[in-house]
Amino acid sequence: MPTDHARETVEPRHGVTDRGSTAVAHPNIALIKYWGKRDEELIIPYVDSLSMTLDVFPTTTTVRLTPGAGGDTVTLDGAPAQGEPRQRVIAFLDLVRELAGRAEPAAVTTRNAVPTGAGLASSASGFAALAVAAAAAYGLALDDTALSRLARRGSASASRSIFGGFALCHAGQGVGAAADHSSYAEPVPVPDFDPALVVALVNAGPKAVSSRTAMRHTVETSPLYPAWAMSSKGDLADMREALDRGDLDAVGEIAERNAFGMHATMLAARPAVRYLSPATVAVLDGVLQLRRDGTPAYATMDAGPNVKVLCRPADAAQVAETVLAAAPGCSVLTARRGPGARLRMRNEP
Ligand code: 2P0
């Protein structure tokens, strides 16, 4: 039975050392997708989403307060962050400072084990780790619900990475403070379902259009968007039942149709947003062939050309082989359900 390595509940001060507060978070892959915001400033999604947190590609983030410094510094994978990524981190720190009633600047250091911006949810692990580390550094004692709400202000998908295993992000109700309060993630206990997710890295480079820009454009111009958002409600209800039953085929079918629907909304945007490449389609063909040959395998794709294939752990090696044959040169690794975001304690390396 998977444990999801539940996040220890710790007072934030226990995670603070002279070197600052360090948090580790993992990316998640949505089986029911989030695409589109009804409030751009508060980052309130139009639709509920449901994901699996992975046990690969962690982000490790340290936040150290630097009283007396002229401003914040942000280091991403060993280099000073520039432009929008830097601005998003500073805006997030401003929010944490406002909540904590404090003003000190901070030095933020982040390492991603996942290729940044390649549609592999680095913003999910990134803002989940930043939320946990920054809350600790500034002395905010937040429970997991409040941390997920805070992480959402960085990236909506980050709210789900606060939790291990499966997590549901509520789109919430109302506007303004009511929307902010009601949009958060929570764990979805699925003790008897522990699939593998074979990740096919078709292209690990940064994507051409950020998901933030692409989803705004989709909401504004795609005539298919309202229909997908509506059908997503049914997908979520069906998904919850399929997860409860531990029914891999049903989970896979629902995840696949939900992902294809999301990509259909993008393809119908004016002009179209197309993340899927020829190699993506080749992998999708391979997945279809696996199913025809009797191996349950189902695909999902996010804001990039990479494909994630849901399957039984015992079939993961065969799925990986099929993916490699379909798209030679791509890199493949197998993920399982992973842990929620947590502070690294003093005595950890
Ligand atoms: C998801 N994606 O549910 C969907 C599916 C990509 C496709 O969440 O604007 O980086 O920061 O809230 O969370 C990617 O979007 O966007 C994403 P923002 P985010 O995983």
Closest alpha carbon to 169 in 151, 157, 181, 155: 157
74/203 Cα distance (integer angstroms): 26
Q: How far is the CA of 190 from the centre of ligand 1 (A)?
A: 23
Instruction: Classify 50 as helix, strand or coil.
Output: strand
Q: How far is the CA of 137 from the centre of ligand 1 (A)?
A: 26
Question: What are the two backbone dihedrals, phi and then psi, of residue 63, each rounded to the nearest 5 degrees?
Answer: -120, 120
Residue 186 belongs to a domain with what CATH number? Answer: 3.30.230.10
Is residue 317 domain-shared with residue 225, that is, in the same domain? yes
Is residue 231 domain-shared with residue 132, that is, in the same domain? no
Q: How far is the CA of 348 from the centre of ligand 1 (A)?
A: 31
Instruction: Classify 102 as helix, strand or coil.
Output: coil
DSSP codes of every residue in 255-314: HHHHHHHHHHHHHTSSS------HHHHHHHHHHHHHHHTT--EEEEE-SSS-EEEEE-GG
Q: Is 289 a member of any domain?
A: yes
For residue 113, the model assigns a pLDDT of 85
Is residue 119 domain-shared with residue 243, that is, in the same domain? no
Is residue 104 domain-shared with residue 137, that is, in the same domain? yes
Q: Is 328 a member of any domain?
A: yes
User: pLDDT tens digits, residue range 20-33?
Assistant: 999 999 999 999 99
Last residue of a domain, one of 173, 190, 207: 190
Q: Is 348 a member of any domain?
A: no
- Ligand 1 binding pocket, CB closer than 6 Å: 30, 33-35, 43, 49, 123, 155-157, 211-212, 302-303
Q: Which atom of ligand 1 is nearest to the CA of 119?
A: 6
191/345 Cα distance (integer angstroms): 27
Last residue of a domain, one of 190, 222, 246: 190
Domain count within the chain: 2
pLDDT exceeds 50 at position 5? no
Is residue 179 domain-shared with residue 203, that is, in the same domain? no
Q: Is 10 a member of any domain?
A: no
CB 110 within 8 A of CB 77: yes
190/25 Cα distance (integer angstroms): 20
Closest alpha carbon to 228 in 46, 51, 50: 46
Domain holding 148, by residue range, is 16-190
Q: Is 201 a member of any domain?
A: yes
Is residue 184 domain-shared with residue 201, that is, in the same domain? no
Least confident of 105-114, 147-156, 174-183, 293-302: 105-114
Question: What are the two backbone dihedrals, phi and then psi, of residue 286, each rounded to the nearest 5 degrees?
Answer: -60, -40
Least confident of 3-17, 102-116, 118-132: 3-17
User: pLDDT tens digits, residue range 229-278?
Assistant: 999 999 999 999 999 999 999 999 999 999 999 999 999 999 999 999 99
Q: How far is the CA of 118 from the centre of ligand 1 (A)?
A: 12
Is residue 162 domain-shared with residue 232, that is, in the same domain? no
Last residue of a domain, one of 165, 190, 215: 190
Is residue 175 domain-shared with residue 236, that is, in the same domain? no
Q: Is 3 a member of any domain?
A: no
Q: Is 330 a member of any domain?
A: yes
Q: Which of 157, 215, 217 for a ligand 1 pocket mutation test, highest count of atoms within 8 Å of Cβ?
A: 157
Q: How far is the CA of 35 from the centre of ligand 1 (A)?
A: 6
Residue 307 belongs to a domain with what CATH number? Answer: 3.30.70.890
pLDDT exceeds 50 at position 37? yes
Q: Is 234 a member of any domain?
A: yes
| β partners of residue 343 | 23
44/182 Cα distance (integer angstroms): 9
Is residue 87 domain-shared with residue 164, that is, in the same domain? yes
- pTM to 2 decimal places: 0.94
Q: Which atom of ligand 1 is nearest to the CA of 157?
A: 13
SS3 readout for 189-246: CCCCCCCEEEEEECCCCCCCCCHHHHHHHHHHHCCCHHHHHHHHHHHHHHHHHHHHHC
> 345 falls in which pLDDT band (50, 70, 90)?
confident
